[in-house]
C-alpha cells in the first residue's frame, strides 16, 4: 500500500490518466511532489502518463473510484469521471455512480486522513443557462431526466456531498467548476467540439456544425486550467468554492470552425446537423471570484492553444 512520503507532499489524483488529470500529474511532479495516479482506464490512457511511469515519485494504480480506496496521501484531486457526452452517455448509470459513489468514497478517504480534497466539477451544473455569463451563485437550468442528466446531475450531487461533508465534518474542500478545456491528450473520438473539428479538418472531412452554429462556448487551454486547480488547492481552508475556472473569451461554434480551418489549412466545408437534446445555447464563465481568490486568469489565447493541439492530433492520426 502506498504510504505518505514525509519529505514532500503526495497527492492522489483520481482520473490521473485522463486528459486533464495527466497534465495535473505532470505539474505536481514538476513541483517536486509525489503523485499516486488512480484510473480505471475507461476513458483515460496509459499513453498519457507513460513518460511518468519510471519517475521515482510517481505511482499508478488501476482502480474504480466507485469502490473504496485505502491509501495514505496528503491531499486529493478528484477528477475521475467521463467528461464528454459520447463517453458519459455510453453507460449513464455508471457515469452517475462515478460522480456520486466516487465522491462518497473519496470524501470518506479525505475525512479519515484529515486532508484537503478538490472536486473537479463542471460548467454543466449550470445546464442551458438563463443567466449570462454564469456566476457561481447561479443555481442552473438543468433537465434532470434528459440524456445529459447522468453527468449534469451527477456532478451537482457530488457538489452537494462535498458541502455536506464540509458542514458535517469540517472537512477542507475545494470545488472547481471547469468550463470547456482543450489541448494535447484530448481523446480524438471524445465527441467534444475542439477535437471533432480538428480531426475532421485534418482528415479532409466536412466540419459538422450542430444547429445554426451560433451557440457559444468559452475555451480554456489545459495549462491554464491546471494552474487554476493547483492555486485553488493551495488556498486556505476558508476558500471552498465553488469557483469557475475557464476562459471568458466567448466564441460561436462557427468562429471556432473557422479558426481550426485556418490553423490546419484544410479545405473542409461546414455542414449542419440537428442540435442534440439539451445542448446549451451559450456558455461563458464569470471568473471574478478566481481573479479575487486565486489571482488567476487564463493566459493562452485560443489561436495560440490551437497550435499545439492541432500538432498533437496530427501526430496521433499519423501513427494510426
**SS3 of residue 87 by DSSP:** helix
The answer to whether 191 and 85 have CB atoms below 8 angstroms apart is yes
Say how many C-beta atoms besides its own lie within 10 A of residue 256's C-beta.
23
Angle at 87 between CA 149 and CA 116, to 5 degrees: 75
The answer to whether 117 and 171 have CB atoms below 8 angstroms apart is yes
41 is catalytic: no
**Strand (E) positions, 123-192?**
173-178, 181-182
**SS3 of residue 142 by DSSP:** coil
Percent helix / strand / coil, the chain, rounded to 5: 40, 20, 40
Q: Active site residue: 77, 88, 151, 165, which one?
A: 151
Q: What angle, rounded to 10 degrees, do the helices at 19-30 and 222-233 form?
A: 60
Cell of 138: 447561479
**What amino acid positions are annotated as catalytic residues?**
151
Amino acid at each position: 500500500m502506498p504510504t505518505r512520503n514525509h519529505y514532500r507532499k503526495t497527492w492522489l489524483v483520481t482520473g490521473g490518466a485522463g486528459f486533464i488529470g495527466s497534465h495535473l500529474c505532470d505539474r505536481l511532479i514538476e513541483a517536486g511532489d509525489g503523485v499516486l495516479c488512480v484510473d480505471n482506464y475507461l476513458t483515460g490512457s496509459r499513453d498519457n502518463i507513460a513518460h511518468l511511469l519510471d519517475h521515482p515519485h510517481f505511482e499508478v494504480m488501476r482502480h474504480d473510484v466507485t469502490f473504496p480506496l485505502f491509501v495514505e496521501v496528503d491531499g486529493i484531486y478528484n477528477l475521475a469521471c467521463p467528461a464528454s457526452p459520447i463517453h458519459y452517455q455510453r453507460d449513464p448509470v455508471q457515469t452517475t455512480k462515478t460522480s456520486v459513489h466516487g465522491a462518497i468514497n473519496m470524501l470518506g478517504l479525505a475525512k479519515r486522513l484529515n486532508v484537503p480534497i478538490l472536486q473537479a466539477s463542471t460548467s454543466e451544473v449550470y445546464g442551458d443557462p438563463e443567466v449570462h455569463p454564469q456566476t457561481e451563485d447561479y443555481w442552473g437550468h438543468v433537465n434532470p431526466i434528459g440524456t445529459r442528466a447522468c453527468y449534469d446531475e451527477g456532478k451537482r450531487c457530488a457538489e452537494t456531498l462535498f458541502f455536506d461533508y464540509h458542514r458535517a465534518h469540517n472537512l477542507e474542500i475545494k470545488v472547481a467548476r471547469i468550463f470547456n478545456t482543450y489541448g494535447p491528450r484530448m481523446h480524438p473520438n471524445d465527441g467534444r467540439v475542439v477535437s471533432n473539428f480538428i480531426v475532421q479538418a485534418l482528415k479532409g472531412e466536412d466540419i459538422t456544425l450542430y444547429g445554426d452554429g451560433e451557440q457559444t462556448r468559452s475555451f480554456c487551454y489545459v495549462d491554464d486550467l491546471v494552474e487554476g486547480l493547483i492555486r485553488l488547492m493551495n488556498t486556505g481552508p476558508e476558500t471552498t468554492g465553488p469557483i469557475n475556472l475557464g476562459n471568458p473569451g466567448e466564441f460561436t461554434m462557427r468562429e471556432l470552425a473557422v479558426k481550426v480551418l485556418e490553423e490546419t489549412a484544410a479545405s473542409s466545408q461546414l455542414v449542419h446537423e440537428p442540435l442534440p437534446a439539451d445542448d446549451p445555447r451559450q456558455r461563458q464563465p464569470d471568473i471574478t471570484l478566481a481573479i479575487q481568490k486565486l489571482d488567476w486568469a487564463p493566459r493562452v489565447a485560443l489561436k495560440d492553444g490551437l497550435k499545439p493541439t492541432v500538432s498533437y492530433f496530427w501526430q496521433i492520426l499519423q501513427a494510426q
